[in-house]
Each structure stands twice: as C-alpha cells, then as structure tokens.
Amino acid sequence: MKTTNVNIKMDPEIKKQASLLFKEFGMTMSSAINLFVRTAIEQNDIPFEYDREITNKETLEAFEEGERLLADKNAKRYSSFKEILDSLDD
C-alpha cells in the first residue's frame, strides 16, 4: 500500500494523552488517524456524534437581538425585503 505524509497541528498535551490512549488499544497515532479517516469515508460522515451547528458568541447575540425585536411591539416592521432595502437609503 502506498502512503503519503500528512502534517497536522495539535496541542502537545492532547497529542501526549491521545498517544497514551491509542497505545492501550495497540495503536499508534498514525493508525488511529487512519482508522478515523477510513471510517469517515465509509460512513460519508464524521464517525461520532457532534454538533454540526457550532454557534459563536456573535451569532448567539444576533439571535437574542432578533428575539428581542420580535417581542418589541414598537419595533419597525417591514412587509418585504425591498422595503428594508429602501429604508436603508433614507
């Protein structure tokens, strides 16, 4: 089997902990990463549960602002996107 080198950046402590864990399973870091990649390809997905929607602080604040505006009966309302764009020219 042909191979190629892949370089990744990783926190040194995480690398140390992962290497120790994989060693308990009789694996190297390389074999564990290969297993992950092969499984991801086979499943056409990340082979463990994860949150695809990673929301940052700015996005959360924008959602909260939207909720506040929806609850505010005095907030300006628009009936179309064109109306919103036209209001920007004012």
Please report whether residue 37 resides in a domain: yes
Q: Which is nearest to 33 in space by CA: 3, 58, 62, 78? A: 3
Q: How far apart are CA 43 and CA 73, in angstroms?
A: 48
Helix locations, 7-48, DSSP H = 12-24, 29-43
Q: Please name the amino acid found at residue 15.
A: K
Q: What is the DSSP letter of 89?
A: H
Q: How many domains does the chain have?
A: 2
Please report whether residue 7 resides in a domain: no
DSSP for 48-87, please give it.
S---S----HHHHHHHHHHHHHHH-TTS---SSHHHHHHH
Q: How far apart are CA 34 and CA 38, in angstroms?
A: 6
pTM above the 0.95 mark?
Answer: no
Q: What is the pLDDT of residue 26?
A: 96
Are 22 and 29 in contact by the 8 Å Cβ rule? The answer is yes
Q: What is the pLDDT along the chain (90 residues), one digit of tens a residue?
A: 899 999 999 999 999 999 999 999 999 999 999 999 999 999 999 898 877 666 788 888 888 998 998 899 898 888 898 998 989 886
Please report whether residue 5 resides in a domain: no
The per-residue pLDDT of the chain, averaged, comes to 90
Give the range of the structural domain holding residue 24, as residue numbers without chain letter: 12-43
Q: What is the pLDDT of residue 76?
A: 87
